[in-house]
A and B are shown apart, each in its own frame.
Chain A
Amino acid sequence: MYLHNRINNKNNSFQKIRDLDFILLFCILLLGFISLATMYSTDGGQILFHTKSHFSKFLIFTLLMLMISFFNIRFWYSLGYLSYLLIVVMLFWTMYFGITASGSQRWIDLYFINIQPSELMKIFIILCLAKFFHRKRLENVNSFYSVIISLIIIFLPMSLVIIQPDLGTALLIAISGIIVLWFAGLNHKYFFYSFLISLISLPFIISFLQPYQKLRVLTFLNPDRDPLGAGYQIIQSKIAVGSGGLFGKGFLQGTQSYLEFLPEKHTDFIFTLFSEEFGFLGSVLLLLLYAVIIYRVMKIGAISRSYFAKLFCYSFGSSLFIYIIINMSMVLGLLPIVGSPLPVMSYGGSSMLATMIGFGIVMSAKVHSKQSIA
C-alpha cells in the first residue's frame, strides 16, 4: 500500500494536472465569471474599481488555489495546528493593532493588502479540527477530553471575533467548527441538548446584544417598523428580488441597484442585484451552480482515502452550503441581517481568499486522493 502511494507520489506535475477535478474547476471559473459580470453591473455597467479589484483578486486566488492543490494533502495535514495558531495570533494582533472600519476592528494591515483574519479562520478551524479528529479513535471522540479541547478550539477564535465586534463571522466560524464535530461522530445528544440550551438562553443572549444588533432582530421580525431606517435594507432587497420576476429585468437593467436603492450591493447583497437582473431562473441556475460545486466537494471527500481529507471536504462543503444559505436567507428576509458574504460572488478579498484556499485543499485532496495519512 505504502509502496503504491510512493509510486503515485512520484508522478510528475503533468500527472497532477490531469488529476485535477475539472468539473469543479470549471464551475469555480464559471462562478468567478458570473461574479465579475455582476460586479460590472454594480459599477453601473463600467469597468471601475470594484470590477478591476475583484478580477485581479479572483485571478490571483485561482492561481493560489492551483498551487495549493499541487501540494500533497499530507502537507496540509501537517500544517493543521500551526495555521490555526497563526490565525489566532493574527486575531489577537487585530485586537490591538487592527484597522477599524464602520465601528468594528476587523482588518490587519499587511502593507500590500488588508486582511480579515476572521474570514480565514472559517477555513482553518476546519483544517485544525479535521486534524484533531483524524488523530482520535472513534470511541475517544465522545470523551470528555476531546469534547473540551474541540470546544476550546471553537470558542477561542469565536470570542476573539465577537469582541471585534463581528457577530456574523463569529457565528459562521462556530458553525464551521460544529459541522466538523458532527462529521467526526460526536454524539447526537450533544447537538440536541446544546440546541435546546441555546434556544432557552436565546432571550438572555439577546439581552447581551449590542443595541444595533437588537435592532436588526426587531427589524427582521417586522421590517416595516422603520422602513426608512433599520428596515430599509431588507425592504429594498426584497423589492429588488421580487421585482425581478421570472426572467429578471435583464443584465445592467436592475433599477433598484442602478438607481442606488440597494445598500451594500457589492458585498452581502450581491445576490439581490443578481436576482433582480436575472430573475427566478437565473437565481435557480446560480443555486444549481453552487449545488454542483458543493456536490463535487462532497464527492471528492467521498473518494478520498484519508479520514482527514474526507472530514475536511465534507465539512468544507457543508460550511460552504451554510454560508450560502445564511446569505440568501438574510437577503430574502428569512433571517435577521448578519454580515455574511456570498462565497466568491461577494466583493471582499479575505472571504474569497478563504474560500479559494478551501477549494485548493479540496483539489489537493482530489489530486492526492489515494494518499492515506497515518
Chain B
Amino acid sequence: MISQSDNVLKLNSINRRMFILTAAKVIILGGIVSRLFFLQVKENKKYLTLSDKNRIREWKLPPVRGNFEDYFGNTIAGNFEAYQLHLIPEEVENFRYTINRIKNILRLSEKQFQRVLKKKKEIKSWETLIVANNLTWENFSKINNNLYDLNGVKPVISISRNYPFKEYYTHILGYVSQANEQDILSNENIKEKFVQGLKVGKIGLEKTFENDLIGSNSIERYEVNAYGRRISQLAFQKGDQGKTIKLTVDTELQKLSNELLAEKAGSICVMDIFTGHVVAMHSSPSFDPNQFVFGISSDDWQLIRNNPMKPLINKSLTGNYSPGSTIKPIVALSALENKIVNTKFKVHCKGHKNPLELYGQKYHCWKKEGHGFVDLREAMKQSCDTYFYEIARKLGVDKLSETAKKFGLGEKVFGNLFKNEKNGLVPNTIWKKNALGRNWLLGETIITGIGQGYIQTTPIQLCLMTAQIANGGHKIYPKLILDKNNNEEDKFMPLVNQNRNINIVKEAMFSSTNEIRGTSYRSRIDDPKYQFAGKTGTAQVKRITKKDRELDLETSEIPYEERDHALYIAFGPYKSPRYAVSILVEHGGSGSSVAAPLAKKLFKKIVDRHEIRKNFETNKYLNI
C-alpha cells in the first residue's frame, strides 16, 4: 500500500518535473516558430522564386524566319502555312484505332506509318506527336471532315519556309533544313533559339545571313505539374520575325536565265556595270530547295547527288574554268596599256595546218585555213589565236596578270558573302615558283594569252571583268544585297591609264558581234536599242591531239565529259552600255554556236527590264 505521505512526495516530484519540461517545451516551440518565420517571412522571396521555377515552364516556339525579296519587292523566300497533323497520345482514347484511321485517310505508306509509330514511342504520352508535317490542302480538309471520328487529333497550321520560285534562286539563297548538332555548336544564335523543328540556313545567303534572318522565338508560359505536364497557359510572348533582306536580282531575268539554261549545265551572270548590282545569277541545273525544308527523301537526294551535271555546285561562283578566248579583251588591253602593240600591229596567221612554231613547240590557231594578216581589231573579231600568242609572248605573263587582277580576276567577287566562292587563278612567275616550285616557261605565257593553261576564272569574275571594261575601265563592287550605304571609297577608280585603249577593246568586241566574220555575228541584234558587243570563248577541257585535229569531230560526236566549255561575255546596249553578261555552258561546244545565241535572247529582256527597273527606282523615290 502506498502511504499518503509518499503520494505527496511523488506529486511534488512530478509537478516539479512538469514545470521543467514545460519550460523546455516553450523554448522548443519558440524554435519552431522562429524556423517558420525564417522560412516563410525572411526567406519568402527565395522560396517563392523556387516555387515559380517549379511550376512555371516556358516553351520556345520556332521563330519566324525573315524573308528574301528581289529588287522589285517580290518575296523570293518567304514563309507559308504548313498544314500539319498533331496528336497527343494520352488524349486519344483508342490510339490504335485513331492512328489506323489516319493512315487510311491520308493513305500513308507502311514506311511512313512505321516512322510515326516509332516517333510515338520516343515521346512522353502528353507530348505532341507530329503525325504529318506538310499535308496537302486536300488531305487537310479530309482530316477536318473526319474530326468527329478522330478524338484528340489536332489539325494545326504552322509556319514554314517556302521558296515560291523553286529552283530559280537555289544557288543564290541556298536552302534551310532542320538544324543539326553542328549548326548548333557553330552558331551561338542558333544555340540560343533552338527548338525542335527549327530550320536554319545550310548554304548560300540563307546561311550567311542566318543571324539576321532567324528572328526571335515566341514564348509560351505554362503552369506545369511535378511530372512536367502542362496544366494551364499563363502567358504568350510573341517573337519578332527575322529581318527582310532585299536582293538586287530581278526575278524575270533570273527566270529567263533558268529557261535559257534548261537541260544544260552552265551559268549566266548579269551585272549592272555602274552600280555593280547583280540582276541575274543562275547556275544550271538547279534543284527545288523546298524539298529540303522537311527533309529530303533519300531517293530525291540520290537523284540530285548523282546527276552528272552536278546541280549541287554553284557554277557561277565555285566553278573554276579556263576563260578561253574570253580573256582576249584583257590580253589586248594589257598589251595596249603596256604599249607592246598599237592598233596597226599585224600578225600573219597561217591556220593550224601551218602552226606557229616558237621555242620548239607548236601553237595552233583554231581556224584550219588561218586568218592571214590580222591587226588587233581583226584578231579580236575573228578570235585569232596566233595574234594573241604573239602579243602574249611580247607582253609577258607578269604584266598580263597585273591587268587581269586589276579587272577582278583571281580574287573572290563577293568577298565573304559566300563561303564556297572560289578565287580562280591568275598565274604569274612568282606564283608558279611558290606554288609549284618550278620556273615559269615561256610557252605557258603563250597559251595564257588565249585563256588556257593555268589561268582559271569563275563566271562571275568574267562578268565583273566585262562590266569594268564596259564602263570604261572603272572599278565597281558587285552587289547582291541591296543596301543604301555606298561606302566603297575607291568606287569608279580608273583601272586603265588611257581611256583610248578601253575604247579600242570595246570597239573590237563590237566588231566581233556585229560585223561579218565576227565570231558571234550570227547572234547579233541590229536594233541599236538592244545592240550588244561581246566575245566568244571556247575552253578546252583536254589537250587537242593531232588525231583530234585530223578527225575534226562535231561536238555531238565527242563524249560529254570531253566536250569544250562554251563561253560568252558581252555588254550592252552598245551605244550606252549598262549591263554586262557572262554565259557559260559546260561541255556545250563552241562559244559562238552555243553560248552567244543565249546572249541574244537575254539582252532583249535585259534592256526591257531596265526600263521597268529605272521607273521602279524613280517611283520609289517619288513615294518618299
Contacts and interface: CB of A to CB of B under 8 A. Distances in A.
Contacts of A259: 54-55, 223-226, 231
A307 B7 contact: yes
Contact of B40 (A241, A298, A325, A334): A241
A334 B1 CA distance: 47
B221 to A, nearest CB: 14
A240 B28 CA distance: 22
A242 B47 contact: yes
A59 interface: no
B46 interface: yes
Interface string A228-243: 0000000010111111
B17 A183 contact: yes
Contacts of B44: 242-246
A1 to B, nearest CB: 10
Contact of B17 (A185, A260, A307): A185
Contacts of A310: 11, 14
Contacts of B558: none
Q: Which of A244, A298, A301 has the most CB of B within 10 A?
A: A244
Contacts of B7: 307
B229 to A, nearest CB: 9
Contacts of B32: 287, 325, 328-329, 332
Nearest to B223: A259
Given A260-B225, A307-B11, A242 B37 contact: no
B612 interface: no
A225 interface: no
B22 interface: yes
Interface in B1-59: 1-2, 6-7, 9-11, 13-15, 17-18, 21-22, 25, 28-29, 32-33, 35-37, 39-41, 43-44, 46-48, 50-51, 54-55
Interface residues of A, number: 45
Given A256-B54, A307-B7, A332-B35, A242 B40 contact: yes
Contact of A185 (B2, B14, B54): B14
A135 interface: yes
A138 interface: yes
B227 interface: yes
A56 to B, nearest CB: 29
Contacts of A255: 51, 54-55, 223
Interface string A305-329: 0010011001000100100010011
Contacts of B50: 239, 242-243
A299 B583 CA distance: 109
Contacts of B227: 260
Given A182-B17, A185-B10, A259-B223, A280 B1 contact: no
A309 B44 CA distance: 44
A183 B25 CA distance: 14
A325 B28 contact: yes
A245 B54 contact: no
B226 A260 contact: yes
Contacts of A94: none
B35 A334 contact: yes
Interface residues of B, number: 40
A138 B40 contact: no
B48 to A, nearest CB: 5
A190 to B, nearest CB: 13
Contacts of B36: 241, 275, 280, 283-284, 332
A260 B6 CA distance: 58
Contacts of A256: 51, 54-55
A374 B48 CA distance: 59
A239 B51 contact: yes
A302 interface: yes
A243 B47 contact: yes
A243 B48 contact: yes
A307 B11 CA distance: 7
B158 to A, nearest CB: 29
B11 A241 contact: no
Nearest to B37: A280
A240 B21 CA distance: 32
Given A138-B13, A182-B17, A311-B14, A241 B47 contact: yes
A55 interface: no
Contacts of A185: 10, 13-14, 17
A291 interface: yes
A287 B1 CA distance: 42
A239 B47 contact: yes
Interface of A: 135, 137-138, 182-185, 236, 238-246, 255-256, 259-261, 275, 279-280, 283-284, 287, 291, 294, 298, 301-302, 307, 310-311, 314, 318, 321, 325, 328-329, 332, 334, 374
26 contacts: A135-B2, A182-B21, A184-B14, A185-B10, A239-B47, A240-B51, A242-B39, A243-B51, A244-B44, A245-B40, A246-B40, A255-B55, A255-B223, A259-B225, A261-B225, A280-B37, A283-B36, A284-B33, A298-B18, A307-B10, A307-B11, A310-B11, A314-B14, A329-B35, A332-B36, A374-B1
Interface of B: 1-2, 6-7, 9-11, 13-15, 17-18, 21-22, 25, 28-29, 32-33, 35-37, 39-41, 43-44, 46-48, 50-51, 54-55, 223-227, 231
Q: Which 7 A-B pairs have the closest CB atoms?
A: A242-B47, A243-B51, A259-B225, A280-B40, A260-B226, A185-B13, A242-B39
Given A256-B54, A280-B40, 5 more contacts: A138-B6, A275-B36, A302-B15, A329-B35, A332-B36
